Amino acid sequence: MLKILIKKQIFQMYSSFFRNRKNGKKRSMISTIVAILAYVVLLVGCLGGMFAYMGDSLCVPLHKVGMDWMYMTIFASVALAFGIFGSVFNTFSSLYQAKDNDLLLSLPIEPKDIVLARLSGVYVLGAMFSGTVMIPGIIVYGIEAKPGVIPILCAISLYIIVSLFILVLSCMLGWLVAKIATKLKNRSFVTVIISLVFMGLYYFVYFRASEVLNQVAIKSMVYGEKIKGVAYPLYYIGTAGAGDLIALLVCTVLAVLLVCVTIVVMSKSFLTIATSQGGTVKVKYKRKEIKGKTVSQALFAKEMKRFTSSANYMLNCGLGTVMIVVAAGAMLIKGPSVIVVMNKLFKDEAGIIPVLFCLALCSIAGMNDITAPSITLEGKNIWIPQSLPVKPWQVLWAKLKVHLSLTMVPVLLCCISAIIVVKPNIMIGVWMIVLPLLYVLFTACFGLIANLFFPNLNWTTEIAAVKQNMVVLVSMLAGMFLSIGIIILYMAWLGEFVRGEIYLGGCTLVVFALDVCMIQWLRTKGSEMFKKIG
Amino acid sequence: MLVIENYTKSYGEKKAVDNLSLHIKSGEIYGFIGHNGAGKTTTIKACAGILQFDEGKIMVDGVSVKDDAISCKQKIAYIPDNPDLYEFMTGIQYLNFIGDVFQVEPKIRSERIHKYADIFELTDDLGQAISAYSHGMKQKLAIISAWIHEPKLIIMDEPFVGLDPKASHKLKEMMREFCDKGGAIFFSTHVLEVAEKLCDKVAIIKDGQLVKSGTMEEVKGDTSLEDVFLEMEGEEC
């Protein structure tokens, strides 16, 4: 039974690799391999590359002074933080909010087996996140330090131990989130705020990482002694990864013990939490005066409610709204010093700076991808908009409006900040506002179109619809790559022949034309497609 | 009110419904009976304008569902076999959403909501999130949402599933009252006793083809609807 459940759990997490979401048919072997390779390349290429660089700058200095353990401690700690950060909300969602919990609990299956199967999914995800840190770190260690076979095997074992610790800590935090969630009324907003705090801490550490790494490389002995003194377990874990077999054995036993305790505790509390209806006090409805809305307002309000009621949706697709406002503030504070550096860099071609700022604004404008999972999120409710007397375009437009209203205002703020900092001529100033706003429309339409082509209404957890949705990733990358492409085109080639304002004007026209085409497509063929979904 | 003529729907090579014709007049409660997979839901979804079809025509109050789906939907209320409603809304938010889409005046809407919510004893729970509702409560909410805009035709797929006996009784009363005022109801059911007592006309579908239709007397004669149905299905009575 457990084997079947684990297979189901893993398959559910990665079903898009094996099955076409559009027609539900099994993918061909080649298509599956291409999908998996694309995912691995993306994960290893983008994130793994970053951690390989980190390993490259730390490995030699630490190995030279015989502090391989510190290298392992750093990588294990980063992997631990990264793994927990990546999988804690997935743990909460897949353990306690899975839509098939009721179904599985009704079957003659021990809750322990359901927990074990769910935990296997959590483990795989945690191992994947920690692997993007540990695997490049171990490869760099093997190449640059040449420590021999046993330390490398110990380092690989440390990776497995770290992923077990991630499982334990994710479960503890996931359990805590579930406990808190049952007591909260506005749980989606609280979850978003907690996540933002986590994210703030993450970026604080991230931006200071380079400085910290330099310090560690220079003063490794001092920091080494400090770690031994105040955080001995970290030192011990590091030595386990660097080839100390006794330390490795102790860490392994400890990790396995903790996993066993976690499974026992989770199995005991799973039934209570998974079947809890929220624990909130039942409020008796009081009759109030009803205010009518127009059809368009009603559809917009429904989409907005959908967005604000889901922490997963807000965090994965709408975080840009906060980040863009932060960027607007940062631009005002740090912008002048950036301008000074850029003036030095491009002293012969000062006209390039406003163009770069404008295109950077486009990149920022593409941070939200609210429309990308919006059709998938209709799920089993798709019959409602399809059976109501509204045109499909009205439904699609409401989805676009949520994206536009939550993105355009912050982007406008960011544009104004950029104009204050860059002080461009009037023409470029106009493009610096118009182009990013049109770009917001472009990303909104692109996400919606992509979702119309690849809707998946049969999801069991919301996280699958939002976080594990390839459409969301593709939409985000498309928005980023187009703006990067426009920058490269100007810097590498057209910048020599075309003045900045003319280039930006051309880009504005192209994006405008793309917007018009996409809206026209959504009004016609897209609407027809929407009618047939489901 | 509802005219289905030569309606055919295929899924790939397989014909789910083949050349079906039915006429439902104002004032009639029309029952639609058949075994699982006979084509009831496929027919009902096409009538509600949410399923495209290959051949034939479906007219609601003289308007073709294919040519002017929006006008048809203005006159229809549809309740699916499984009340999957917006779980992120509260009951009252959902009813107001439906009221807004059908542009029901707030004052009239409020009266209707409270009238039907009182009938189904759901008033106190209207402020709760739909995600906290039981299946029966969701079904009641779906029924209220169908009644608040006073449609001309109500199309229901297995409306009695999940309802408690009292709510089932109230729904039957509401259905009769609605048709007595000139509305029409087309619904599928597996509860043959209900169909026998409630319906003015009935149609039996088997493997996508209409096998019998007409008034209750024409269809069942001196026997029971259950006997007729089992005979059609080839079972011994």
CA A197 – CA A194 distance, rounded (Å): 5
Tell me, what amino acid is at B191? V
> How many CA atoms within 13 Å lie on the side-chain side of B199?
29
Say how many Å lie between the first and final Cα of chain B, rounded: 36
Question: What is the number of other CB atoms lying within 10 angstroms of the CB of residue A203?
Answer: 12
Residue numbers in A near B85 (CB within 8 A): 381, 384
Bridge partners, residue B129, by sequence: B90
Query: pLDDT value at position B191?
Result: 85
A391 touches B: beta carbon within 8 Å: yes
The runs of H, that is alpha helices, within B63-164 are 69-75, 91-101, 106-119, 135-147
User: Min CA distance, B179 vs chain A (Å)?
Assistant: 22
Residue numbers in A near B126 (CB within 8 A): 285
Asked if residue A290 lies in contact with residue B96, where contact means CB atoms within 8 angstroms, the answer is yes
Best of B88, B93, B121, B152 to disrupt the A interface (most A CBs within 10 Å) is B88
Residue A330, Cβ density class (10 Å: 0-12 exposed, 13-18 middle, ≥19 buried): middle
CA A507 – CA A502 distance, rounded (Å): 9
What are the tokens at A480?
Answer: 């980023």
Q: What residue of A is the nearest CA neighbor of B48?
A: A387
The residues in A 463-502 lying below 8 A from B, measured between CB atoms, are none
CA B228 – CA B222 distance, rounded (Å): 10
The SS3 call for residue B155 is strand
Give the distance, in angstroms, between the CA of residue B1 and the centroid of all CA atoms in the same chain.
14
Residue numbers in A near B44 (CB within 8 A): none
Residue partners of A55: CB distance under 8 A and separation at least 6: A71, A75, A136, A137, A139, A140, A141, A144
A284 touches B: beta carbon within 8 Å: yes
A381 touches B: beta carbon within 8 Å: yes
- Only one residue has tokens 């040519």, namely B67
Residue numbers in B near A299 (CB within 8 A): 101
- The closest CB to that of B124, out of A285, A297, A384, belongs to A285
Asked if residue B196 lies in contact with residue B216, where contact means CB atoms within 8 angstroms, the answer is yes
CB contact (8 A) between residue A383 and residue B80: yes
Residue numbers in B near A385 (CB within 8 A): none
CB contact (8 A) between residue B101 and residue A295: yes
Question: What is the number of other CB atoms lying within 10 angstroms of the CB of residue A53?
Answer: 13
CA A130 – CA A24 distance, rounded (Å): 31
Query: pLDDT value at position A142?
Result: 93
Query: pLDDT value at position A449?
Result: 96
Question: What is the number of other CB atoms lying within 10 angstroms of the CB of residue B140?
Answer: 27
Q: What are the helix and strand counts (H, E) for chain A? A: 23, 0
Query: pLDDT value at position A23?
Result: 56
Best of A281, A285, A289, A300 to disrupt the B interface (most B CBs within 10 Å) is A285
Residue numbers in A near B71 (CB within 8 A): 389
Kindly compute the dihedral angle of the four CA atoms of residues A209, A215, A218, A223, in this order, to the nearest 10 degrees: -110
Query: pLDDT value at position A333?
Result: 92
What are the tokens at A163?
Answer: 């992923």
3-state SS of A133-189 is HHHHHHHHHHHHHCCCHHHHHHHHHHHHHHHHHHHHHHHHHHHHHHHHHHHCCCHHH
Residue numbers in A near B100 (CB within 8 A): 292-295, 297-298
What are the tokens at A178?
Answer: 């579930």
Choose among A106, A105, A131, A129: nearest CA to A118. Answer: A105
User: Min CA distance, A373 vs chain B (Å)?
Assistant: 16
- Only one residue has tokens 């209750």, namely B216
Choose among B120, B118, B169: nearest CA to B143. Answer: B120
Asked if residue A406 lies in contact with residue A319, where contact means CB atoms within 8 angstroms, the answer is no
CB contact (8 A) between residue B92 and residue A277: no
The SS3 call for residue B221 is coil
User: Min CA distance, A298 vs chain B (Å)?
Assistant: 6
A185 touches B: beta carbon within 8 Å: no
pLDDT tens for each residue of chain A, 534 residues long: 667 777 766 666 666 666 665 555 677 778 778 877 777 776 667 778 888 888 888 888 888 888 899 999 999 998 998 888 777 767 776 776 666 777 777 777 777 788 888 888 888 888 888 888 899 999 999 999 888 899 999 999 999 999 999 999 988 887 777 777 666 666 677 777 777 787 777 777 777 777 777 777 777 788 888 888 888 888 899 999 988 899 999 999 999 999 999 888 888 877 776 665 544 556 788 888 889 999 999 999 999 999 998 888 998 899 889 989 999 999 999 888 988 888 888 776 767 888 888 888 888 888 899 999 999 999 999 999 999 999 999 999 999 999 999 999 999 999 999 999 988 889 989 999 999 999 999 999 999 999 999 998 888 778 778 877 788 888 888 888 888 888 888 888 877 788 888 989 999 999 999 999 999 999 999 999 999 887
Residue numbers in A near B113 (CB within 8 A): 290
Q: What residue of B is the nearest CA neighbor of A294?
A: B100
CB contact (8 A) between residue A383 and residue B124: no
CA B152 – CA B185 distance, rounded (Å): 9
CB contact (8 A) between residue B101 and residue A309: no
Residue numbers in A near B110 (CB within 8 A): 287, 289-290
CA A343 – CA A339 distance, rounded (Å): 6
Q: What is the DSSP string of B3-60?
A: EEEEEEEEETTEEEEEEEEEEE-TT-EEEEEE-TTSSHHHHHHHHTT-S--SEEEEEE
- The closest CB to that of B52, out of A305, A310, A532, belongs to A532
Residue A455, Cβ density class (10 Å: 0-12 exposed, 13-18 middle, ≥19 buried): buried
Query: pLDDT value at position A348?
Result: 65
CB contact (8 A) between residue B91 and residue A285: yes
The SS3 call for residue B202 is strand
Q: What residue of A is the nearest CA neighbor of B72?
A: A389
Residues of chain B whose beta carbon is less than 8 angstroms from a beta carbon of chain A are 48-50, 52, 70-71, 73-74, 76, 78, 80, 82, 84-86, 88-89, 91-93, 96-107, 109-110, 113-114, 123-128, 132
- The closest CB to that of B50, out of A309, A381, A383, belongs to A383
Residue A23, Cβ density class (10 Å: 0-12 exposed, 13-18 middle, ≥19 buried): exposed
Query: pLDDT value at position B236?
Result: 45
A103 touches B: beta carbon within 8 Å: no
Q: Count contacts between A and B (CB, < 8 Å).
A: 97
Residue numbers in A near B150 (CB within 8 A): none
User: Min CA distance, B104 vs chain A (Å)?
Assistant: 8
Residue numbers in B near A379 (CB within 8 A): 84
CB contact (8 A) between residue B73 and residue A287: no
- The closest CB to that of B101, out of A277, A278, A388, belongs to A388
- The closest CB to that of A389, out of B102, B110, B123, belongs to B102
CB contact (8 A) between residue B73 and residue A388: yes
Asked if residue A128 lies in contact with residue A43, where contact means CB atoms within 8 angstroms, the answer is yes
The SS3 call for residue B208 is coil
Residue numbers in B near A295 (CB within 8 A): 100-101, 103
The SS3 call for residue B76 is strand
Q: What residue of A is the nearest CA neighbor of B84?
A: A381
Residue numbers in A near B132 (CB within 8 A): 277-278
- The closest CB to that of B132, out of A278, A290, A298, belongs to A278
Q: What residue of A is the nearest CA neighbor of B51?
A: A532
pLDDT tens for each residue of chain B, 237 residues long: 899 999 999 888 888 999 999 999 999 999 999 988 889 999 999 999 999 888 899 999 999 999 999 999 999 999 999 999 999 999 999 999 999 999 999 999 999 999 999 999 999 999 999 988 999 999 999 999 999 999 999 999 999 988 999 999 999 999 999 999 999 999 999 888 888 889 999 999 998 999 889 998 888 887 888 888 888 776 544
Main-chain dihedrals φ then ψ at residue A288, nearest 5 degrees: -130, 165
